[in-house]
Structure 1
Amino acid sequence: MKKEISIFKRPEKLAGYDIEQYMKYCGNLSWYDFVTSIPSLVFVVTGWKSNGKENACLHSWSSFMGSGIDNFICILGKVNKDGHMYQSLKETKVCVLNFPSNDIYDRCVKTINNNQFETDEITASGLTAEKASKVNAPQIKECFLNIECEYLWEHELFEGSKEVAIAVRAVNICMDSQHYDQTKLGRYGKKGFLFYIDQPTNPETGEITPFGPGILEQGDPIP
């Protein structure tokens, strides 16, 4: 039996905390983020800050699509206009999208706290910064896939929103050879892409099921 879930009628508590405070603490998420728990790819956006220091932002809420033979576009679905990542993109018009496997995810998470303006955020998190090939931005050596991008456009999520969607276009891709061969490490499975999963929430009780980063397992081919 399906049940309609109102965005206005929700439990007073979420995981034992005041629901509004909890959602704000978790990155200004909507109640529907927790209800649907829709996964999205995890990657680290890197660039240069205006002082020449490395910027690294652990990111999700994005989508990727090809449009025409020469255009591969990423829509960065939720970028805070007050953050270093937004400022870096606006100033330099370039970035690199770095995709970690699970074995370095803990170091990528450290970029969240190592985000001071005077900090080399990649290096401070125990990762290795190297120069990208086609754009003026650093990339993370340990990530199995690096997508070098140019800024295209931005748009507010809604009128007055402090967050914007930003489109970037790939101009170069660097992928570890062990990962582009699916018979070896591959792109999928325990050593491949990671997905951010909002903690699945019971919309009636506010009870949360703890959930870490997910992986994509191969299914049966469709004939």
Structure 2
Amino acid sequence: MTKHEFDIEKPKNLQEEWPGQYEVFSWLEYVVNIPYPIFIITTYKANRKANANLWSWGFFAGEENGFYSLIALTDTTHTYENIKRTKEWCINIPSLDFKEECFKTIEHNQVDDDEIAQAGFTQESSVCVH
């Protein structure tokens, strides 16, 4: 086994894409990553409008007695606040057929937006609730 070490300082050529990016996320998360499936975490905002958070930092495991997820959700998101407030959320794993709709959830994320409807999705009840 070979040990690889690298300088922990951020490379100078790695620039933020938006102000404060490397304050919210470590720059390492953009250069060292494991591929994860893209999924949408849905919650309800305080005004009962739908919140849809396109996410990929997490993993899923399960068997016949249960299905589990571990999600690295930052505490600066609306989704995090909604989950803290209601203790409710739903994990949605869309197929590639819904790629455009998934990315529209990023565009429509204001307090009064119904992020599911405005992305082109149809809201329906959960299949399984644990």
Q: Please classify the TM superposition score into its range, dividing by the shorter chain length.
A: 0.7 to 0.9
Give 3-state SS (helix, strand or coil) of 1:51's partner: coil
Pairing 1:60–2:61 present: no
TM-score, normalised by the number of residues in structure 1: 0.50
Partner deviation per Cα, 1:14-43 (whole Å, 9 max, x = no partner): 2xxxx2x33844893323223323211210
Which SS does the other structure have where 2:80 is aligned?
A: helix
Q: State the 1:132 CA deviation.
A: 1.9
Higher helix share: 2
Residues 77-96 of structure 1 aligned to structure 2 (within 5 Å)? 77=72, 79-96=73-90
CA distance in 2, matches of 1:92, 1:103: 31
Change (3 A) 1:84 1:34: closer
- Find the counterpart in structure 1 of residue 66 from structure 2: 71
Name the Cα RMSD after superposition: 2.6
Q: Distance in 2 between matches of 1:26 and 1:56?
A: 23
Higher strand proportion: 1
Count residues in correspondence. 128
Matched-pair identity in %? 34
TM superposition shift of 1:121: 0.4
Unaligned runs of 5+ in 1: 135-147, 149-170, 172-223
Cα distance, 1:53 vs structure 2: 0.5
Question: Shift of the alpha carbon at 1:111?
Answer: 0.8
**Kindly tell me: are residues 51 and 6 of structure 1, through their superposed partners in 2, closer, same or farther at Cα, counting changes over 3 Å?**
same
Q: Distance in 1 between matches of 2:110 and 2:86?
A: 19
- In structure 1, C-alpha distance between the alignment counterparts of 2:121 and 2:64, rounded to whole Å: 34
Contact 1:43–1:59 at 8 Å: present in 2 too? yes
Structure showing greater Rg: 1
Distance in 1 (alpha carbons) for counterparts of 2:6 and 2:43: 40
Q: Which residue of structure 2 lines up, in the alignment, with residue 5 of structure 1?
A: 6
Counterpart of 1:22 in structure 2 is 17
